[in-house]
Amino acid sequence: SWTTGNIVEEQVARIRAQVGNSRVICGLSGGVDSAVAAALVQRAVGDQLTCVFVDHGLLREGEAEQVERDFVAATGVNLYVANEQERFLSALAGVSDPETKRKIIGREFIRAFEEAERAIMSKAEAEGEPIRFLVQGTLYPDVVESGGGEGAANIKSHHNVGGLPEDMKFELVEPLRALFKDEVRAVGAELGLPAEIVGRQPFPGPGLGIRIVGDVTQERLDLLRRADAIARAELTSAGLDDEVWQMPVVLLADVRSVGVQGDGRTYGHPIVLRPVSSEDAMTADWSRLPYDLLARISNRITNEVDGINRVVLDVTSKPPGTIEWE
């Protein structure tokens, strides 16, 4: 019978046949697809693989550590970390238009990845073993969506921060091409990846950069990261991670409202909760979360995150609203 173990064995054999003794590079985004693809390749060819993680500073609380510490501990992979938080903050300074933010983040991501790649390449070449292959976490639905043929891997290249340049000199390794998302998660679990990585809900490549309505600053990122961590922790302890497709937490950085807290008046920012249920993100409905859960999230965020004095719930379906606010 067809088990997850079979899938792992078959993919490992295919990867070995394709790659031989060559070196391989793989970008990690913090998401489940790139992590599982990398873990499969690691299982197949071990030290021939080098993973690259560009930390753009737009991930949620704990996510960089999940890659740098937990993923490495689970797989033993060679990881090259590019700490690029400053690069992204300065490129985004003063920018509030959503599509401009996406373009900037996408462009800087490619530049940062290419710089990391060059550093790894020159080391590999010095050792007489140039890198020939690039791993991509393309899933079966991506292949279908683009009409099937070769080159399907590039379907999301303008959309995803993981998108890579067209003039790529690498051959692609795509071990997830035949799999659906739930199979990818099962393979990840089979390979021993941490539950936080395997069970991660969808999260946009441009990250928290498109969840701050207004321009992106370090201070705003810190506020949003703390509010988001509280909301996610409460959703998880309510046992609703599977029921909720994703729950963007959005900082309305350009909006302030008057409040009263402790011994005085506040003038702070609102946080929007955007829990949705969906099959495929093309359409969505707002999730009817229990009131007591919403109350807990609201109380905790307003009490624990200085500068946030109001929590609001988005009750718009998609359409007409999109899932993200930007």
Q: Is 287 in the site for ligand XMP (CB under 6 A)?
A: no
Q: Is 69 in the site for ligand XMP (CB under 6 A)?
A: no
For residues 274 and 310, which CB has a smaller minimum distance to ligand XMP in the complex?
274
Q: Is 141 in the site for ligand XMP (CB under 6 A)?
A: no
How far, in Å, CA of 55 to CA of 165, rounded?
19
Q: Minimum Å distance from CB 109 to ligand XMP?
A: 11
Q: Minimum Å distance from CB 207 to ligand XMP?
A: 9
- The answer to the question of whether 34 is labelled as a binding residue is yes
- Of the candidates 82, 48, 88, 53, the residue with the CA atom closest to the CA atom of residue 70: 53
Tokens 């089979």 belong to which residue?
190
- The answer to the question of whether 259 is labelled as a binding residue is no
Q: Minimum Å distance from CB 216 to ligand XMP?
A: 14
- The answer to the question of whether 147 is labelled as a binding residue is no
Q: Is 314 in the site for ligand XMP (CB under 6 A)?
A: no
Fill in the amino acid letter for 42: Q
For residues 194 and 321, which CB has a smaller minimum distance to ligand XMP in the complex?
321
Q: How far is CA 21 from the centre of its chain?
A: 30
Applying the rule CB under 6 A, the residues between 150 and 169 that interact with ligand XMP are: 159-160
Helix (H, G, I), strand (E, B) or coil at 258: strand
Among residues 68, 241, 314, 324, the one that binds ligand XMP under rule CB under 6 A: 324
CA distances from 144 to 95, 138, 150, 151, 243 (A): 35, 11, 11, 12, 26
Fill in the amino acid letter for 179: L
Q: Minimum Å distance from CB 325 to ligand XMP?
A: 8
- The answer to the question of whether 215 is labelled as a binding residue is no
How far, in Å, CA of 132 to CA of 152, rounded?
19
Q: Report yes or no: 211 and 224 within 8 Å, Cβ to Cβ.
A: yes
For the chain, the maximum distance between any two Cα atoms, rounded to a whole number of angstroms, is 69
Binding site for ligand XMP (CB under 6 A): 102, 159-160, 202, 204-206, 246, 281, 318, 322-324
